Structures are given as structure tokens and as C-alpha cells.
Structure 1
Amino acid sequence: MVWTAPTIDRVLAPLSEPTADERALTEAWLDLQRETLLWKCGGLTEEQLGLRCVEPSNLSLLGLVRHMAEVERDWFRTRFAGETPGYLYCTDDDMTAEFDLDGADAERDLATYRREVELCRRATSGHALDEVYLDPRRGTEMSLRWVYQAMLVEYARHNGHADMLRERIDGATGH
């Protein structure tokens, strides 16, 4: 039996709660972006998820999932929370290794992504958007609000890529 990525129903909370407070809206929009990436992967086989079908780019849906797991971990857990979990796929010598799919396992990588999102939710739970931390890479103070905004931008960009990849793979469209 060929494994396929599970299909998901996205929760469109930001569209149904347009007067929620800033934190609720920010988290709802981020969750919608997270779900959109998984939604774009739904029903595809491991082979399809690994297709690099927008030449000359090396992007694939699986590479994007792996990349966003790294980005979630980096911003929320490593930088904001000060944890030291290390890289999931990257190395100090290859900071784009998440896009190298040699030895990748789509089922495991999607589960890793979901787990990382949950760990990031825990790392930010109970922290105010105005909370400031010293970013170890930039050497400057940053707020959790800034991190959420950066993540929304990152997802919006890559979900646009996912739209094109999915359409090239099987013609499926939608946002």
C-alpha cells in the first residue's frame, strides 16, 4: 500500500472571529497558515510530495514542510524560548539541508512538523506578545510579537510556493 499524506480540514477561525483580541487573531492566522501548508500536501504520495516541478527551483512540498519545521524551531524554541534543541535537518555546514530529500521519509517528516508546531505552541504559551528576548543571532532585543509577524510572512511566502507546486503536481488549486 502506498502511503499518502492525510487530508485535513482547515479551521478558518480568523475569518469567523474578526473582532477577537490581538493574541487570539495572531495565533489563529498562524494556525491557518500552518494548516494551509498541510492542506496543500493532503492526499499526495511520498513521491509526489518530493517532486521539484517548478524548474529551476529545487522546492518541493516535502522540502517546504521540512523547512518550516526548522523555521518554527529556530524562531520560537531556540531564539525566543532559549532552548537548545539543535537542528532537525540542517547542519552548520549546510543551512539548506532540509531541501535535500535524500533519505527523507515523508510520513516521518510530516509527523516531525506537527510535533514541532505543538512544541512551539507550548514554548510561547503564557507569554505576552510584548515579551522581549535577546536574539542570539542578531544581538538585539526582539518581541514575541515580532516573531509571530515574521512567521506569518514566512508562511505566506512559502504557501504561495506550495500553491504553485500543488497545481503542477495534480492540478489542484485553492487557497
Structure 2
Amino acid sequence: MSNSVPFTGEEKDILHAALDRHRDVVLWKLEGLDDEQLRRPMTPSGTNLLGLVKHLGGAELGWFRQTFGREMGPLPFDIDADDESDMRVEAHESTADILAFYARARAGADEAIRELALDDLGTSWSGNTVSLRWVLVHMATETARHTGHMDILRELIDGGTGDHDRS
């Protein structure tokens, strides 16, 4: 697990490390929980830990792949038909399926990050022109936001808190 972001170095490496740090926390928040706990709706809207992982996988593919004209591969939801489908884990989806989807999304995003320059431009789903730099900052903050949600959900499930493994 990546517990820190380098204090010096190349901008792209620092931004990627910041994203990776939060990605690792996403997975750490799931450790030691059973399938029921991972799927348990913890808010009136039905938010659960595994749904947040599914959402983040879709966000990574959308921002790093689709924005820059790269193949995303199949998605386990249809956001056009149901704009909440990326947050919901269906009965037929296993924990392993969602974790594999997140791993595939991370790998696809990492490939784009390696191959693109910070100033390379793409077109977002909303039609805005964005740079890889902007996408890295956006996804690091988006992932951090959702790891905060995950921290609260995890505390409600078993009392576990923290932003990274301190062992």
C-alpha cells in the first residue's frame, strides 16, 4: 500500500502517486469484510462499499480512457438507461467481479497515464476539453472523496477508521 506521495519529483509522478494512494485505500477499506457487509446499504440512498468501488471503476475508465478516445471495454452497468446503475451492485455480480472490474479500470487508466503527456487534451463526457493533468487532479479528488464515504461506512459496519493502513 502506498502511504505517501513524494514531496519532490516530476509533476506527473506526484499526481499519479496521489491517485494511487487513494486507490489503495479503496481496497484497504474492504479488507476483512464478508460479502454481506460489503453489499450492505448503509444510507437511505442505498450506498454500500462495493457500489462505491464499482462507481470508481467506471469513473476511471470514463475519465482516462473514453475522454482520450481509448477503448473502455465492457461496463457492468448502463449509465444511459439508469444514472445510478454504476453505484448499485446487482445480485448476479460477485465481489470478485467488482474487484476485477476495478483492477481492469486501474490498469487501463495507468496505461493512459503512462502514454499521455500532462498537457494532452481530451473531450469529457460533458463536452469539455480537459488535459490529462486536470483528469489526474479530478480523479485523485474524486477517489479521496469516496474513500471518505467508505471510511464512514466502514466505521458504521465494524468501527474501523483511518485513511490508510498504519502497520
TM-score normalised by structure 1 residue count? 0.85
Given that residues 62 and 72 in structure 2 are in contact (C-alpha distance below 8 angstroms), is that contact kept between their aligned partners in structure 1? no
- 1:84 positional shift: 5.1
Matched to 1:162, the amino acid is M
Distance in 2, Cα, partners of 1:138 & 1:37: 26
Partner of 1:32: 21
1:66 equivalent to 2:54? Answer yes
Partner of 1:164: 152
1:18 equivalent to 2:15? Answer no
**Unaligned regions of 5+ residues in structure 1, if any?**
1-9
Partner of 1:145: 133
Matched to 1:69, the amino acid is G
Given that residues 61 and 72 in structure 2 are in contact (C-alpha distance below 8 angstroms), is that contact kept between their aligned partners in structure 1? no
Matched to 2:30, the amino acid is C
1:136–1:162 distance in 2 versus 1, CA, 3 Å: closer
CA RMSD of aligned residues (A): 1.6
Superposed CA offset, 1:87-141 (max 9, x none): 33234211221222232211121122112101111122131111112x1533332
Given that residues 81 and 123 in structure 1 are in contact (C-alpha distance below 8 angstroms), is that contact kept between their aligned partners in structure 2? no
Q: 1:101 aligns with which of 79, 89, 94?
A: 89
Paired-residue identity, %:
37
1:47–1:148 distance in 2 versus 1, CA, 3 Å: same
Q: How many residues align?
A: 162
After superposing on structure 2, the runs of 4+ consecutive aligned residues of structure 1 that deviate more than 4 Å are none
Distance in 2, Cα, partners of 1:141 & 1:36: 30
The structure showing larger relative contact order (alpha-carbon pairs under 8 Å, at least 6 residues apart) is 2
TM-score normalised by structure 2 residue count? 0.89
1:136–1:167 distance in 2 versus 1, CA, 3 Å: closer
Paired residue secondary structure (2:130): strand
Distance in 1, Cα, partners of 2:72 & 2:159: 41
Distance in 2, Cα, partners of 1:81 & 1:32: 26
Paired residue secondary structure (1:43): coil
